[in-house]
Amino acid sequence: MALPNHPFPKTWLQDVAISENYKIAKLHYSFLCDEELLLINQQFLKHDTYTDVITFDYNQGELVIGEIYISLDRIRENALLLQKTFDHEFYRILVHGLLHLLGYKDKNPKDKQQMTSKEDYYLSLLTYTGR
């Protein structure tokens, strides 16, 4: 599975962080298949389930320092299920992972709704052709 054929949206991600009163100091994204991300989920989080994103937060105050691991297989499947383009779901997961590093959670319905609202807002600010 190839990444979107667009430049990586570094400036957009920086703008998201700034809008939330943070600054990205060091942010690393890794793009994996389901099985690779499952191994990380099992090893570090003790979860035996597939997931689309895992974040490791090393923030120092308002400085974002973190690692974000993303399953391209999950993005592809979610895009099909939600009838969205791969690119749309790819960018949603990019910002979803960053929002986790900015303190947003999604474990309960209220938090999940807030996270989705933030994703939708920031996606509306991104210019790309694959909506």
- What pLDDT shows up at residue 97? 98
DSSP character string of the chain: -PPPSS---HHHHHHHHHHTT-EEEEEEEEEE-HHHHHHHHHHHH---S--SEEEEE--BTTEEEEEEEEEHHHHHHHHHHHT--HHHHHHHHHHHHHHHHTT---SSHHHHHHHHHHHHHHHHT---S--
Whether 1 is covered by a domain: the verdict is no
Q: What is the pLDDT along the chain (131 residues), one digit of tens a residue?
A: 567 777 789 999 999 999 999 999 999 999 999 999 999 999 999 999 999 999 999 999 999 999 999 999 999 999 999 999 999 999 999 999 999 999 999 999 999 999 999 999 999 999 764 44
Whether 130 is covered by a domain: the verdict is no
Q: Which domain holds residue 17?
A: 10-124
Whether 129 is covered by a domain: the verdict is no
- What pLDDT shows up at residue 1? 56
